[in-house]
């Protein structure tokens, strides 16, 4: 009888050698006279343990990690294929403390099966939400999403039900569902992991959205930096179409809906929804003034739902289990679950899906295990490159949209970047300006020019050049960018800058004569 072994084909797992481990395992099994069936799955999200190998045993799936391809033969000899004890044996993932405490809703299936195996997905409850939604009137689906309290996971936290209601109410023969899969924020990878690990969850969410608002065409605007996600999603869409989930008559319901993928081309600003829509139409990705809202005049001038991957992927569970069930998770006005991403200088980096309300400190220490370097955590940046740097004093902030605003930050897409005490925060402030200058779409002067000025001012400040005047200039510049920018790239770049300065003023003190800023290029 053959032994089933699971190894992730997620890009992060592959980036640290999962393919080599799979090859080595097949060879070692053959050498040992054992028959193995290697299933390549999404990642379970315990990324510091990748490459992770899970072996099916009578007692369940037993995991080993991180496995080096060169150790595989020895591991097989030591009894890996029977789940034998070993220093790398971490037991069943479901009982691992990192996993056991999670509330997996969006990521419930991720890592369990071959990601585009449609039968396996359906056997685990895939498309049940869609079947229920198709039995409901479109307005009732929109109401359920509103009552669930779902808010946009792409950054702004806008109530999804309200957006959908606006699109539903438009009398227009053509409407679109656009999935924002541009995921440009440093520290974020949940969109990627979901598209690679359970693409049907996103597809199902998009079909439900189409039914809810009356859309006939969907697009996934996917960043080009994700070739693995592209392959998996394209494969899944083709299989879903062949099985009747997409096309002229979705599951015999009369709904006509199909999905195409459009690739981005390396511009961060194309994650901003109006810029994204221009890019989707084949144009330069420049930000448009709002109004008109995309919900009223979006893709090709038609009413359009633009939602993040995780927002859309949260919808199947709401449709299946009901608004009240979803709303029971979370706290305050932040309902449901958020897949948080622990990144950077953190010992246990990975994906932690939790109901809102868990604190930053629990995530950093109980899940994350502290810094990777073993040094004190100095600060974290939550919500991507436009998020404020939060010091230790803010670590008791709960994961909650309003609580983060009160703490001077933002939750954004739920990415948490950790830095230790060797990081100089003036370097990070300088980098924030530099990033803004590189990625500015060029439409407004404060963003385009101000960001470059900002780099110079930080340099002058650190050179000790007219310190008081430079400080004043820096704040003026931030003020101008905040108030004179059309979108959040220019408007929020001051947040990481001023938070770094506020919490770590000593890092902006006179710089050693080397002139090295630590940031290059």
Instruction: Using CB under 8 A, list all residues that contact other proteins.
Output: 11-12, 14-16, 47-48, 50, 183-189, 191-192, 224-228, 262-268, 279-286, 300, 341-346, 349-351, 372-373, 381, 385, 415, 417-420, 423, 427-428, 431, 435, 438-439, 518-521
Task: Specify the 3-state DSSP secondary structure of 17.
Answer: coil
Interaction of residue 152 with ligand FMN, rule CB under 6 A: yes
Chain residues 240-299 in contact with ligand SF4, contact rule CB under 6 A:
269, 287
Interaction of residue 487 with ligand FMN, rule CB under 6 A: yes
Partner from ligand FMN, other proteins, ligand SF4, none contacting 154, C-beta within 5 to 8 A by type:
ligand FMN
Residue closer to ligand FMN by CB (options 323, 488) is 488
Nearest to 352 by CA among 367, 362, 374: 367
List 175, 192, 443, 503, residue binding ligand SF4 (CB under 6 A): 443
Interaction of residue 124 with ligand SF4, rule CB under 6 A: no
Q: Where are the beta strands (DSSP E) in 139-249?
A: 176-181, 217-222
Burial letters 65-86, b for 16+ CB under 10 A, else e: bbbebebbbebbebebbebbee
**Helix orientation angle between 160-169 and 138-148, rounded to the nearest 10 degrees:** 160
Half-sphere exposure of 26 (CA within 13 A, CB side): 10
As a whole number of angstroms, the distance between CA 299 and CA 297 comes to 7
Residue 49 φ then ψ, to 5°: -90, -5
Partner from ligand FMN, other proteins, ligand SF4, none contacting 448, C-beta within 5 to 8 A by type:
ligand SF4
Partner from ligand FMN, other proteins, ligand SF4, none contacting 215, C-beta within 5 to 8 A by type:
none
- Give the end-to-end CA distance of the chain in Å, rounded to a whole number: 57
Residue closer to ligand FMN by CB (options 161, 214) is 161
Residue closer to ligand SF4 by CB (options 351, 437) is 437
- Shortest Cβ 112–ligand FMN spacing (Å): 25
> Which single residue brings its beta carbon nearest to ligand FMN?
152
List 74, 158, 469, 510, residue binding ligand FMN (CB under 6 A): 158
Residue closer to ligand FMN by CB (options 311, 480) is 311
Interaction of residue 183 with ligand FMN, rule CB under 6 A: yes
Nearest to 165 by CA among 191, 139, 185: 139
Chain residues 194-223 in contact with ligand FMN, contact rule CB under 6 A:
none
As a whole number of angstroms, the distance between CA 446 and CA 452 comes to 10
Q: Is the dihedral of CA 134, 140, 142, 146 positive or negative?
A: negative
Interaction of residue 489 with ligand SF4, rule CB under 6 A: yes
Nearest to 80 by CA among 95, 94, 98, 68: 68
What DSSP letter does each residue of 311-340 carry, written as one string? HHHHHHHHHHH-HHHHHTSEETTEESEEEE
- Shortest Cβ 289–ligand SF4 spacing (Å): 9
Kindly list the residues in this chain that would bind ligand SF4 in the complex (CB under 6 A): 269, 287, 440-444, 447-448, 485-487, 489-490
Kindly list the residues in this chain that would bind ligand FMN in the complex (CB under 6 A): 152-156, 158, 180, 182-184, 269, 271-273, 306-308, 311, 487-489
């Amino acid at each position: 009888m053959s032994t089933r072994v699971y190894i992730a084909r997620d890009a992060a797992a592959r980036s640290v050698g999962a393919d080599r481990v799979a090859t080595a395992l097949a060879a070692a099994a053959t050498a040992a006279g054992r028959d193995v069936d290697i299933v390549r799955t999404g990642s379970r999200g315990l990324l510091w343990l990748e490459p992770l190998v899970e072996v099916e045993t009578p007692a369940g799936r037993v995991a080993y990690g991180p496995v080096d391809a060169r150790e595989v033969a020895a591991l097989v000899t030591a009894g890996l294929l029977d789940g034998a004890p070993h220093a790398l044996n971490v037991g069943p993932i479901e009982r691992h403390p990192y996993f056991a405490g999670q509330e997996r809703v969006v990521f419930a299936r991720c890592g369990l099966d071959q990601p585009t195996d449609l039968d396996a997905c359906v056997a685990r409850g895939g498309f049940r939400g869609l079947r229920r939604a198709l039995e409901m009137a479109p307005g009732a689906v929109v109401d359920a999403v509103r009552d669930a309290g779902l808010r946009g996971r792409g950054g702004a936290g806008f109530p999804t039900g309200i957006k959908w209601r606006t699109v539903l109410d438009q009398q227009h023969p053509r409407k679109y569902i656009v999935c924002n899969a541009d995921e440009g924020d440093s520290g974020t990878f949940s969109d990627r992991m979901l598209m690679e690990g359970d693409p049907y969850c996103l597809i199902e969410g998009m079909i439900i959205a189409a039914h809810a608002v009356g859309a006939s065409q969907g697009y996934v605007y996917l960043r080009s930096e994700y070739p693995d996600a592209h392959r998996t999603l394209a494969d899944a869409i083709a299989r879903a179409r062949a099985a009747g989930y997409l096309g002229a008559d979705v599951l015999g319901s009369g709904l006509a809906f199909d999905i195409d993928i459009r690739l981005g081309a390396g511009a961060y600003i194309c994650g901003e929804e109006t810029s994204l829509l221009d890019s989707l139409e084949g144009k330069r990705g420049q930000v448009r003034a709002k109004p008109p809202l995309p919900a009223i005049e979006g893709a090709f001038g038609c009413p359009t739902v633009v939602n993040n991957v995780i927002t859309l992927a949260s919808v199947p569970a709401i449709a299946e289990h009901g608004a009240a069930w979803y709303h029971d998770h979370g706290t305050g006005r932040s309902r449901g679950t958020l897949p948080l991403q622990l990144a950077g200088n953190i010992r246990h980096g990975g994906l932690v899906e939790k109901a809102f309300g868990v604190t930053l400190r629990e995530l950093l220490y109980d899940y994350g295990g502290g810094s990777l370097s073993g040094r004190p955590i100095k600060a974290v940046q939550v919500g991507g490159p436009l998020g404020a740097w939060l010091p230790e004093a803010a670590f008791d902030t709960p994961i909650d949209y309003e609580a983060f605003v009160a703490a001077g930050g933002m939750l954004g897409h739920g990415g948490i970047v950790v830095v230790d005490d060797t990081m100089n925060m003036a370097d990070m402030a300088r980098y924030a300006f530099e990033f803004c200058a590189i990625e500015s779409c060029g439409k407004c002067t404060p963003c385009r020019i101000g960001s470059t000025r900002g780099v110079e001012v930080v340099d002058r400040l650190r050179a000790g050049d007219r310190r008081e005047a430079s400080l004043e200039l820096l704040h003026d510049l931030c003020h101008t960018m905040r108030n004179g920018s059309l979108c959040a790239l220019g408007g929020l770049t001051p947040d990481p800058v001023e938070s770094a300065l506020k919490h770590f003023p000593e890092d902006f003190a006179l710089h050693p004569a080397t002139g090295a800023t630590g940031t290059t290029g």
